[in-house]
Amino acid sequence: MDEHTESIKKQEEEPAGWYNQAPRVSDAFRKGVSVTVTTWGGRAVSGLVCDRDPAGVLLEARENGGSDPGYVFLPWSSVEQVEINQLTPRRVKFLQG
């Protein structure tokens, strides 16, 4: 049995196992994570997260397939949906009891 299969089997045996490894919002908005943000106006902006704070999120965006990066600040009040294009699973260390 390979490592992935063993991991799945263990998660089935321990229902909370998947929850411990699930991503968090802070993981999705870490610097360098690729996201697509859809605004309430219907605009979709894809890019890499540069920064976030209580006011909103700053992306390095390449709009319309352009090669020149630009920066786009989106206030949270304008964000309808965020798609996380790539996310590294959280590393969880289990302590033996």
The per-residue pLDDT for range 28-62, each reduced to its tens digit, is 788 988 999 999 999 999 999 999 999 999 999 86
Domain 25-84 annotated CATH 3.30.450.40: no
Q: What pLDDT score does 66 carry?
A: 58
DSSP state of 94: P
Given the structure tokens 């610097």, which residue do they identify?
Answer: 31
Contact at 8 Å (CB) between 61 and 46? yes
pTM exceeds 0.75: no
d(CA 84, CA 90): 14
How many C-beta neighbours within 10 Å does residue 28 have?
15
Average pLDDT over residues 20-30: 77
Q: What pLDDT score does 72 carry?
A: 93
Q: Is 42 left (phi over 0), alpha (psi -120 to 50) or beta?
A: left
